[in-house]
């Protein structure tokens, strides 16, 4: 018969710490060492147990590792005949069930540890609830991070959704985004500002993962504030100022931002350090003038103001914008993806729905990568005048 007792779970696990608890096992302080040793040998998955006095108060804990190490030391020093638990019981940090796990993490206690440490959850009246280790705490935070990544991935998908119906009566916009991680730093944006004006953008934030995705969300919010009277230069000024002040040059973003004026039949385009945009078809697609403005967030003010290109876009032309994640992607033989592949697909699909053209480009890009790891977020956006 085992000498190990288990504290009953009298209420649902309605606090974070109760969810982290990995063992509710305990023994009484007068339990013979031989019986404890037998139970540790029998229960191979038992990592630790609490020790309670006759009044049910916590005295400390015994970890599996410490038990066998101490038993070996006692045997070598000929003290194995002793029956008390001297040298076996170790202190643990006592927490109430309502303690916020973040408070433990921020306390600095774990930074001092070079091996596993145990925490005890004890109610204010002294009732023992359970034990968990620093490894259990780390696992809890890793699960939280995974959940946040999943949520951020869902948000990122919504931000980078395909063009909203009703974007423009005379222009179509389609896009493709392939994050290198679950969430990424590319943002493709498009929406109608008025009956005859529409806004589109491709933003590439430095880095990948959580931080980059948070910046794209912030930029999305700024773009959402644009209205029919918004001037492109002023919109860029606001974006630059917010990124610079928030991240103090630690994060920047390249961007191509455009406003379609249907009445004028042209696109006003600003290039903020991006430069990967082309007018298709053209004998020299890469010959489109480059403004050479600096990325957003590099300097407090953009001086001189970015050059605004006025691009006429007839129904025989398409505007292509790509992120550097496409142009700098290698295949397994070390070759870079050639943007001319996209030109060819666009020109051959001139009469096809724009969505089919985008899908064909995506298939070609994935086929090029094959088993090679995608090292950066890859995005593209195409603007076409409707028939």
d(CA 300, CA 323): 24
Most confident of 50-64, 96-110, 136-150, 276-290: 50-64
Q: DSSP for 281-315, please give it.
A: S-SSGGGS----BPPBTSSSS-SSPPPEEEEE--T
Confidence band of 363 (pLDDT split at 50, 70, 90): very high
pLDDT tens-digit series, residues 128-148:
999 999 888 777 765 655 555
Give the per-residue pLDDT at 166: 47
Report which listed range, 11-20, 120-129, 308-317, is most confident. Answer: 120-129
Reduced to 3 states, what is the DSSP secondary structure of residue 172? Answer: strand
pLDDT, tens only, 181-190: 655 678 899 9
* Mean pLDDT (whole number) for 7-30: 84
What's the whole-number average pLDDT of the chain?
Answer: 81
Residue 142 CA, chain-centre distance (Å), reads 12
Per-residue pLDDT of 227-286, as tens digits, reads 888 889 888 988 888 888 777 778 899 999 999 998 888 899 999 988 788 888 765 455
The pTM of the whole model exceeds 0.95: no
The pLDDT, as a whole number, for residue 106 is 45
Of residues 344 and 78, more confidently modeled = 344
φ, ψ for residue 266, nearest 5 deg: -145, 170
Stretch 283-292: mean pLDDT, rounded? Answer: 52
Residue 162: pLDDT band by 50, 70, 90 thresholds?
Answer: very low
**Which residues have C-beta within 8 Å of that of residue 353, sequence separation ≥ 6?**
none
pLDDT in the model for residue 184: 62
* Least reliable range by pLDDT among 77-81, 202-206, 307-311: 77-81
- The domain defined by 160-385 folds into Phosphatase 2c; domain 1 (3.60.40)
Classified by CATH at the fold level, domain 5-141 comes out as: CBS-domain (3.10.580)
pLDDT of res. 371: 76
Q: Is the pLDDT of residue 374 over 90?
A: no
Helices 209-224 and 232-247, axial angle in degrees (round to 10): 140
What are the residue boundaries of the structural domains of the chain, listed by start? 5-141, 160-385
């Amino acid at each position: 018969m085992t000498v190990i007792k288990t504290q009953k779970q009298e209420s649902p696990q309605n606090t974070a710490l109760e969810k982290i608890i990995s063992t509710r096992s305990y023994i009484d302080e007068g339990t013979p060492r031989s019986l404890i040793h037998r139970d540790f040998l029998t229960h191979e998955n038992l990592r630790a147990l609490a020790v309670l006095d006759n009044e049910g108060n916590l005295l400390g804990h015994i970890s599996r590792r410490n038990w066998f190490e101490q038993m070996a030391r006692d045997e070598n020093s000929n003290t194995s005949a002793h029956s008390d638990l001297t040298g076996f019981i170790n202190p643990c940090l006592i927490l109430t069930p309502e303690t916020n796990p973040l408070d433990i993490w921020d306390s600095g206690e774990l930074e001092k540890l070079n091996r596993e440490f145990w925490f005890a959850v004890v109610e204010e009246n002294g009732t023992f609830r359970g034990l968990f280790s620093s490894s259990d705490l780390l696992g809890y935070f890793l699960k939280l991070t995974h959940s946040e990544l999943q949520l951020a991935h869902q948000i990122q998908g919504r931000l980078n959704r395909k063009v909203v119906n009703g974007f423009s009566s005379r222009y179509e916009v389609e896009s493709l985004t392939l994050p290198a991680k679950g969430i990424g730093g590319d943002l493709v944006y498009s929406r109608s500002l008025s009956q005859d004006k529409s806004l589109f953008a491709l933003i590439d934030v430095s880095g990948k993962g959580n931080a980059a995705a948070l910046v794209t969300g912030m930029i999305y919010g700024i773009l959402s504030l644009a209205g029919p009277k918004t001037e492109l230069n002023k919109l860029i000024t606001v974006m630059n100022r917010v990124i610079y002040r928030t991240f103090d040059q630690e994060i920047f973003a390249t961007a191509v931002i455009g406003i379609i004026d249907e009445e004028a039949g042209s696109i006003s385009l600003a290039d903020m350090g991006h430069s990967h945009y082309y007018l298709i078809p053209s004998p020299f697609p890469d010959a489109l003038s480059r403004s050479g403005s600096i990325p957003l967030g590099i300097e407090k003010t953009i001086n001189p103001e970015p050059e605004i290109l006025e691009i006429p876009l007839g129904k025989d032309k398409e505007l292509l914008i790509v992120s550097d994640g496409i142009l700098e992607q290698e295949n397994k033989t070390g070759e870079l993806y050639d943007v001319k592949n996209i030109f060819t697909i666009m020109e051959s699909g001139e009469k096809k729905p724009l969505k089919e053209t985008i899908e064909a480009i995506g298939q070609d890009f994935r086929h090029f990568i094959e088993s090679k790891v995608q090292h950066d977020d890859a995005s593209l956006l195409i603007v076409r005048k409707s028939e």
